[in-house]
Amino acid sequence: MRRPRKPTPPTTEAIDQFCAAFDDLFARYEERRALRQYVIGLLLPREHNKTLVELASIVPDTNRQALQHFLHDAPWDAEALNRRRLQQWQAHPLLCPHAGGVLIIDETGDPKRGHRIVLAAQQYLGKLGHVANGVVAVTSQWTDGTRHAPLGVKP
């Protein structure tokens, strides 16, 4: 007989409700808890880019090492999570895509120093206007002018 899962500590009703739709994708309590902390960190206002260290420092009761493990080492399927996220968005009665929206495809290149950076290579970086060492990613999102939804990203 399977033992019931340990419930995650409550956050806000909206965060708990959103994250509960993904709980079955995470085998361990620590991963389910880290998902909630990560989502809260992404939603909190910040003046500049949020690094892992900053996320851990602005979300109460968050352990930086646990968040690092969740993002880099924990055995969860990012593609399955993204598929579920898109299914949730498409099924939402108020936020779902409609004919008045548009698809945006964008390519962004960021220069990188060093040769041991994952995905960095000599390539054209539009931001610089020439070939340089960097990482390029193509993102897609849907918008209707009042809201947008990220769809995917490919390096």
Q: Is there a single domain that holds both residue 20 and residue 63?
A: yes
| Tally of domains in the chain | 2
Average pLDDT rounded to a whole number, residues 131-155: 92
Residue 138 has pLDDT above 90, yes or no: yes
Question: Mean pLDDT score of the chain, rounded to an integer?
Answer: 90
- pLDDT at residue number 114: 78
pLDDT class of 52 with cuts at 50, 70, 90: confident
Confidence of residue 49 (pLDDT cuts 50, 70, 90): confident
pLDDT digits (tens, 9 = 90+) for 25-48: 999 999 999 999 999 999 988 877
- Show the domain range for 86: 13-91
106 and 38 within one domain: no
List all residues 6 or more positions away from 115 whose beta carbon is below 8 Å from its beta carbon: 133
CA quadruple 123, 129, 132, 133: dihedral sign:
negative
pTM of the model: 0.76
CA 80 to chain CA mean position, Å: 13
Q: Are residues 87 and 106 in the same domain?
A: no
Asked if the structure places residue 7 within a domain, the reply is no
Name every residue whose Cβ is closer than 8 Å to that of residue 127 and which is 6 or more positions away in sequence: 108, 109, 110, 111
80 — pLDDT class (breaks 50, 70, 90): very high
* Residue 45 pLDDT: 86
Residue 96 lies in a domain: no
